Amino acid sequence: MNRTLSRPHDRTGQDGGLTRVSFSPPADRRSALDRAHRGDVVGALGRVSSLDTEPRRSWRRRLATLAAVMGPGVVVLVADNDAGGVATYAQIGQNDGLRFLWLLVVLAAALWVNQEMVGRLGAVTGAGHARLIYERFGRRWGAFALGDLLVVNFLIVVTEFIGVAFGLGYFGVSKYISVPLAALVLIGLPATGSFRRWERAVCVFVALSLVAVPLVVIALVGTTVAPWQLFFHQSNVIDKRITARWLAYERADTTIGTVLFALGAVAVLVACALAFDGTALHGAFVNAGTVADDLRRQAGPWAGALFAVVLLNGSVLGAGAVTLSASYAIGDVTGTKHSLHRSWRDAPRFYGSYTVLVILAAAIVLIPGAPLGVVTTGVQALAGVLLPSALVFLVLLCNDREVLGPWTNPRWLNVIAGAVVAAFLVLSGLLVIATLFPDLALGWSVIAISEAAAAALGALAGLRLGDGGTGPSPRSPTSDSWWTMPPIESLRPPAASRSRTLSLILLRGYLVLAVIAVVVKVVRLMMGA
């Protein structure tokens, strides 16, 4: 076996303590903040040794490796079909039929692009998304990014508990029972101190997500992208100890997750479109809870029950992933232990922040008379308008050769990523204009939106799209497949750029305006205006 040895490093067991000293290939010498992030890849369906450098020549070995590595991409993308996502797809299907089905294909492609980039960042750098932003853009921009994440994540977890209330409410369970019960389940899932046990439990929810597919058959018979996904995926790749050595398998994991996301989203949208087309319920969407009852009346009891199960399952899976992304980010920024390989006693701040977020979100949903449907829609819109800022940082990091070396974005990916950023800015711009300036002429709206898109793209203007990024010339990825980021403290700072800084400031100002617009819109909806 052709094995490259390097300096020894400490490896930790599940208790976080030192177990032995061993030699490992360079791919395991990442800039890990938590020592528990180093060692063997341990997944729900297998294990891969950190010392394993053998090529995978047979399909049997390749599939076994994929089974061990697979997890972060599937979880983050299936979790995207959460309470807000299911409600949005149901609303589009019930109110607009199949008119926007094509948009799900476009969104699935955009999701894959985003998640491939963060998965690559995690595997190559060993540093979480929040930590990289702090180190490469400074504490001010890091604080902005972390603040956005924590606020939006908290609100998204609130919507997940709303989904739990609606889902079990279909079966006659009071929200005062279902929401606390779901909170206890969520707190218990990661508290075992074992990444493998957590991932196996999550795999059950992933499998249950496929129950949405029969909805299409039953119907025949009778927002999608959010900042939390970037932070969760990158940190979960690191926590699972996936390195650049296994990057091809992580890309396959992301692809499988994208397919599962698309299947679930299309199933819900098509089921609602076919069930309500030509009926009095077409265009009568109220919230996800009423959709289950409407499906029962139009397509039968099993249709309503299946939708309720899909909503409940997506809510629990989404709440767990969203909350973990916040806890991972807090650990990145504070430098404290933040790994599912550790026990509660060994990482109290990691599990404590997770628990507090779950309890507070659940408490808000239990407030009597809260407009749950409006809150869900508003939170999805808020996540959407804040997404362009997160994507700009993502693209800049993926073009920083100090960080990714030979793994920086190729030119074609930069072009696609820039188009995705511009598209989301245009969509959020339309919401801002329509909310704050409803009487503004169309021409001025186009100008304002174009300027906002230009601000984001201006932040990316320093990229040398012809060669895939900035920084020292890399070596070939083929001959340097073990390359990982050096210790983050040793990296040269990014080159100063006034135009990029100004563009980021303008983008931040625009996003503040967009957040105000969303809040105004939600308040108007609550007041019935």
pLDDT score for 74: 92
Tokens of 360: 């507070």
pLDDT in tens, 68-101: 999 999 999 998 888 888 888 888 888 888 888 8
Q: Which of 298, 253, 248 is nearest to 273 (CA)?
A: 298
Stronger pLDDT, 98 or 379, i.e. the higher one: 98
pLDDT score for 438: 57
Confidence category of residue 462, pLDDT binned at 50, 70, 90: low
Stronger pLDDT, 106 or 358, i.e. the higher one: 358
Sign of the C-alpha dihedral computed for residues 100, 157, 391 and 411 taken in this order: negative
pLDDT in tens, 339-358: 999 999 999 999 999 999 99
Q: Which of 415, 428, 498, 431 is nearest to 464 (CA)?
A: 415
Q: At what angle do helices 372-397 and 101-125 cross, to 10 degrees?
A: 50
Distance of alpha carbon 134 from alpha carbon 57, whole angstroms: 41
pLDDT in tens, 206-254: 887 776 655 744 444 435 567 888 999 999 999 999 988 899 999 999 9
- The residue-averaged pLDDT of 476-496 equals 73
pLDDT in tens, 305-316: 989 999 999 999
Question: Which H or E run contains 416?
Answer: helix 411-436
The CB density around residue 466, as the number of other CB atoms within 10 Å, is 7
Tokens of 31: 């800039």
pLDDT score for 433: 60
The CB density around residue 239, as the number of other CB atoms within 10 Å, is 27
- Rounded percentage of the chain residues whose pLDDT exceeds 70: 80
178-182 LR contacts (CB < 8 Å, sep 24+): 179/362, 179/365, 179/366, 180/362, 180/366, 182/315, 182/316, 182/319, 182/362
Q: Which of 32, 31, 28, 60 is nearest to 46 (CA)?
A: 60
- The residue-averaged pLDDT of 288-293 equals 88
List of residues 6+ apart from 276 with CB closer than 8 A: 93, 94, 282, 284, 294, 298
CB 30 within 8 A of CB 59: no
Q: How far is CA 502 from CA 21, 147, 393, 512, in A?
A: 48, 20, 14, 15
CB 249 within 8 A of CB 72: no
Stronger pLDDT, 365 or 517, i.e. the higher one: 365
DSSP for 423-465, please give it: HHHHHHHHHHHHHH-TTS-HHHHHHHHHHHHHHHHHHTTTS-T
Distance of alpha carbon 125 from alpha carbon 33, whole angstroms: 11
pLDDT score for 237: 93
Confidence category of residue 30, pLDDT binned at 50, 70, 90: low
Tokens of 70: 């697979």
Q: How far is CA 362 from CA 405, 461, 472, in A?
A: 43, 43, 49
CB 499 within 8 A of CB 440: no
Backbone angles phi, psi at 289, to 5 degrees: -65, -40
- The residue-averaged pLDDT of 147-158 equals 87
- The residue-averaged pLDDT of 369-398 equals 79
Stronger pLDDT, 241 or 429, i.e. the higher one: 241
pTM for the model = 0.81
pLDDT in tens, 156-215: 898 899 899 989 998 999 999 999 999 999 998 888 888 888 888 888 888 877 766 557
